[in-house]
Chains A and B, each alone.
Chain A
Amino acid sequence: NAGVTQTPKFRILKIGQSMTLQCAQDMNHNYMYWYRQDPGMGLKLIYYSVGAGITDKGEVPNGYNVSRSTTEDFPLRLELAAPSQTSVYFCASSYIAGGTEAFFGQGTRLTVV
C-alpha cells in the first residue's frame, strides 16, 4: 500500500497565484487532515474531514479551502498565495479520531515569493 501520497513535493508560487495541493490515501480512512509546519511551531491544523462531503476548519484555516468528494482524496486549495503561507504542508489520515494513529504523507514544501 502507498499510504498517504502528496503532490507536489516542492513548489514556488508568486504572490497572488493559486494552486492545489493534492492528497490521496489508499487505507479507506474516514478522517483526513491538513497541517502546516513552521520552524519551532509544531504542526497546526488547517482543515479536516470526517468523511466524504464533510469538512471543517481547524486552527489556522484562513487563506485555504478544501473539498472531500471521495474517501480517498482531500485536496487543499490556496486561492491568493501570500508570503505567510510559505510552509511545509502535511496531509494525514486516520481510521477514526481520538486514540488511533494518524498516517502522514511526506509533505509539500511551498515557498511564496
Chain B
Amino acid sequence: AQSVTQLGSHVSVSEGALVLLRCNYSSSVPPYLFWYVQYPNQGLQLLLKYTTGATLVKGINGFEAEFKKSETSFHLTKPSAHMSDAAEYFCAVTLPSGSARQLTFGSGTQLTVLP
C-alpha cells in the first residue's frame, strides 16, 4: 500500500520568502501525486498534480512541485510567499490503476505567512 509523509506539521515564512513544503511518498509503482490546499472553513482545492510526463509541474497561485523518483519526493515550492497563501496543504498519492479507495492523504502542513 502507498503512504505519504509530510515533514513539518507547521511551517512559518515571512512574506516574500521562499515557501518549501515537503512531501515524501512510498509506493510499489510510480504513483500519481497531488497537492491540495485548504483555506479556513473550506474544502480542499487542487493546487497541482503529477501523473506522467514532465516532472516539474506548475499549479495555481504560483506554486510548483517536482517529482523526484530517486528521492521519492514531491516537494511544493513557491518563490515568494504572499499573505493569502496562509492555509493548510495536503500531499496525496494514488496509483495509476488505483481504485477509489487508494487515494491516500498526508497529515497536512499548516503554512503561516508572517508580515
Contact = CB atoms under 8 A, between A and B. Distances in A.
Interface of A: 4, 31, 33, 35, 40-43, 45, 48-50, 56, 58-59, 90, 92, 94, 97-99, 101-102, 104-107
Interface of B: 4, 9, 32, 34, 41-46, 49, 51, 90, 94-103, 105-108
A98 to B, nearest CB: 5
Given A31-B100, A41-B107, A43-B105, A90 B44 contact: yes
Given A35-B105, A98-B97, A105-B43, 16 more contacts: A40-B108, A42-B108, A43-B90, A49-B100, A56-B101, A59-B101, A90-B43, A92-B43, A92-B44, A97-B99, A97-B100, A97-B103, A99-B32, A102-B44, A102-B46, A104-B43
A41 B6 CA distance: 11
A97 B45 contact: no
Contact of A98 (B4, B44, B94): B94
Nearest to A40: B107
A104 B45 contact: yes
A99 B44 contact: no
A97 B43 contact: no
B103 A102 contact: yes
